[in-house]
């Protein structure tokens, strides 16, 4: 067996479990390692070299060490800070879009339960004006219906961004 270390990391919010395959002896050990990134890197740096590591956010650290040793994993690179920022932006946009769709569905169902259906195209300027004209007789429904609020007017500012 080759020298060095083969490591599969199973990362959780407050712990990292490592499957460590010793390249010289073939011994496989499963152990808990420091969970903060810098501490994990220091731990990895202290292992017999070369160190080959794979990461998984799930209960598969020891399996990863074996797969890595067998050459059955494909190498990937860590995204750069600008790439990760772009990914965060995409995730945030998807979240806003999902929020918008949920708000639209809530609003549509509320209006439908009360027999209110707009004759024109939904989620346009004309539809927004129609929404703002709606009034209800019952006090609880009036409290739930607040024209112009983001919860009841999903065609507001978030639409341009989503």
pLDDT at 46 over 90: yes
Residue 33 in contact with residue 18, Cβ under 8 Å?
A: yes
* H helix intervals, 2-124: 37-45, 61-69, 81-113
- For the chain, how far is it from start to end, CA to CA, in angstroms? 54
What is the mean predicted confidence (pLDDT) over 85-108? Answer: 91
The token duo for 85 is 């920022």
pLDDT at 83 over 70: yes
Instruction: Name 8's bridge partners.
Output: 19, 54
Mean pLDDT of the chain: 81
Residue 63 in contact with residue 8, Cβ under 8 Å?
A: yes
pLDDT digits (tens, 9 = 90+) for 137-147: 888 888 777 65
Q: Cα(82)–Cα(157) distance, rounded to whole angstroms?
A: 27
């Amino acid at each position: 067996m080759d020298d060095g270390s083969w490591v599969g990391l199973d990362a959780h919010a407050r712990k990292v479990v490592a499957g460590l395959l010793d390249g010289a002896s073939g011994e496989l050990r499963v152990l808990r390692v420091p969970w903060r990134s810098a501490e994990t890197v220091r731990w990895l740096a202290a292992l017999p070299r070369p160190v080959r590591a794979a990461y998984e956010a799930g209960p598969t650290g020891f399996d990863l060490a074996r797969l890595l040793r067998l050459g059955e994993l494909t190498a990937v690179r860590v995204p750069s800070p600008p790439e990760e920022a772009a990914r965060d932006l995409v995730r945030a946009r998807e979240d806003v879009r999902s929020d918008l769709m949920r708000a639209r569905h809530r609003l549509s169902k509320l209006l439908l339960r009360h027999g209110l259906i707009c004759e024109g195209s939904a989620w346009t300027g004309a539809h927004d004006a129609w929404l703002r004209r709606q009034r209800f007789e019952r006090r609880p429904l009036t409290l739930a219906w607040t024209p112009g609020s983001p919860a009841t007017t999903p065609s507001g500012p978030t639409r341009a961004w989503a």
